Amino acid sequence: MPHTTNHAEAYPAVIIGAGQAGVALSYFLQQRGVAHVVLEKDRPFADWHNHRWDSFAMNTPNWVNVLPGQQQAFAPHAGRNDYGTLRDAWEFFEAYLSAVHPPLRIEEVESVGVNRDGSWQVTTNHGSYNADNIAICTGHASRPKIPPIANDLPPSVDQLHSSEYRNPADIQTANVLVVGSGSSGVQICHELAACGRFDAVYLSQSGNFTLPWTFLGIPTYSLMRCLGVFKITRESWLGAMMFPKLQQHGDPATPPSPGRLARKYGVRRVGRASAVDRGVIRCLDGQAVPLQNLTVVWCTGFQTSYTFLDVYIREAVLNDAGLPIHERGVVSASPGLYFVGLRFQHTFVSQDIYGVGQDAEYIAEQIAARATSSSPCARSGTHSTLHA
């Protein structure tokens, strides 16, 4: 539904989100001379500050963690094939933010709609913006995803998502069930089992494959790069075969594997949690986890959320699963609307630090092509105020 525009600042482009995707896109727009503003509701790289546990370790080696225009290497004090810490990530992103210096405003986006002249309108908790182009860079994992079975657990069972977990002191019960065997589940399960505080640590496996540190003596990620895995696209025959399976089972995890956790620490491996019944959580492999004195840590990932999009826009640009319908981040159904940072947006590594820069550069090229003097917002002036 068209909006009227009153006293709104006008820009050729507005970026929503100041994580790795949004700041990388800002870097490329600055290179192309496209005036823009970056809107972030919390703080730049907020997920890395708010949704990671204390002992978090990167699931990619240091040399893979690169962004366009960076002036500081990731974990410069460590080896290129080492895996950095959460503090390493904080320092890297702070340095990157200083290097790019995006035109940042801390404002929460409340709605995105279309103006009568075909430009976009963004309303925040502080005001409004008009733009010819909108780039949504809120990532593929903006909201914790917790299975419906969580609603069936009694109040006596403590529950928390991996984004809320910080360290073993958060858990007061004698037993703990970690649900999900991706990188977050394996890392958290490892910490809980190794601390020796719990009578029983269960791991409900989700089918993720564990990548070894090395293969035939070669660092796994170096081998993947040499084999061209990072360049596999959604449109290729291999990508068409691989990506649906990865969407279903989740990304490969870093060691230790669930088997290693069982052998070294006595972690009790169970199948997918399927139902709550008669004082236990029943699993698909026939095993059961008693509810007595239990905490459940949901390492079940995240899901996208685009509730700020006007309902008519959502119907046109999102599929039944709530995911954007796009080609390399370009939404053909709504000219001037783009996404950066989606899972498998174009390649196998699109959602990673290593791959987001390529996608950001491509979207910057599309935005620059539309940011012409004949566009409504560019014609009105970058920092002008539009009137209905």
What angle is formed at CA 275 by the lines to CA 206 and CA 297, rounded to 5 degrees? Answer: 50
**Rounded (to 5) percent helix, strand, coil in the chain:** 30, 25, 45
Looking at residue 213, its pLDDT comes to 87
**How far is the C-alpha of 155 from the C-alpha of 193, rounded, in Å?**
24
Per-residue pLDDT band at 275 (split at 50, 70, 90): very high
Mean pLDDT of 98-115: 96
Looking at residue 240, its pLDDT comes to 82
**How far is the C-alpha of 156 from the C-alpha of 162, rounded, in Å?**
19
276 sits in which H/E element: strand 273-277
Mean pLDDT of 245-258: 80
- Cα end-to-end distance, the chain, whole Å: 15
Q: What is the mean pLDDT of the chain?
A: 90
364 in Cβ contact with 383 (< 8 Å) = no
pLDDT surpasses 70 at 335: yes
94 in Cβ contact with 72 (< 8 Å) = no
**How far is the C-alpha of 336 from the C-alpha of 323, rounded, in Å?**
18
Mean pLDDT of 270-292: 96
Name the amino acid, one letter, at 208: N
181 in Cβ contact with 226 (< 8 Å) = no
Lowest-pLDDT choice from 139-148, 244-253, 331-340, 363-372? 244-253
pLDDT surpasses 50 at 26: yes
Q: What is the pLDDT of residues 30-51, one digit of tens each?
A: 999 999 999 999 999 998 999 8
Mean pLDDT of 175-204: 97
48 in Cβ contact with 381 (< 8 Å) = no
Looking at residue 375, its pLDDT comes to 58
Per-residue pLDDT band at 372 (split at 50, 70, 90): low
**And the tokens for 185?**
């589940």
| Protein fold of 145-211+252-298 | FAD/NAD(P)-binding domain (3.50.50)
Per-residue pLDDT band at 229 (split at 50, 70, 90): confident
| Domain 2-44+102-142+304-386 CATH assignment equals 3.30.70.920 | no
- Domain boundaries defined on the chain: 2-44+102-142+304-386, 145-211+252-298
Decide: helix, strand or coil at residue 171: coil
Fold match, 2-44+102-142+304-386 / 145-211+252-298: yes
Q: What is the pLDDT of residues 49-69, one digit of tens each?
A: 998 999 999 999 999 999 999
CB-neighbour burial class of residue 331 (10 A; exposed 0-12, middle 13-18, buried 19+): buried
pLDDT surpasses 50 at 4: no
Lowest-pLDDT choice from 85-89, 113-117, 159-163, 250-254? 250-254
Proportion of the chain above pLDDT 70, given as a percent? 92
Give the residue ranges of DSSP H helices in the chain: 20-31, 46-50, 86-100, 183-195, 220-226, 237-249, 258-265, 311-317, 353-370, 376-380
Q: What is the pLDDT of residues 134-151, one digit of tens each?
A: 999 998 667 899 999 999
Residues in the chain: 388
Mean pLDDT of 237-262: 83
In order, the DSSP letters of 296-312 are EEE---EE---TTB-HH
Integer-rounded Cα radius of gyration of the chain: 22
**CA-CA distances (angstroms) from residue 93 to 76, 86, 115, 210, 258?**
13, 11, 35, 27, 31
In order, the DSSP letters of 180-216 are --SHHHHHHHHHHHHH---SEEEEE---PPBPPSEET
Looking at residue 376, its pLDDT comes to 57
Running DSSP on this structure, what letter comes out for residue 387? -
Mean pLDDT of 193-203: 97
CA 111 vs. chain centroid, Å, equals 21
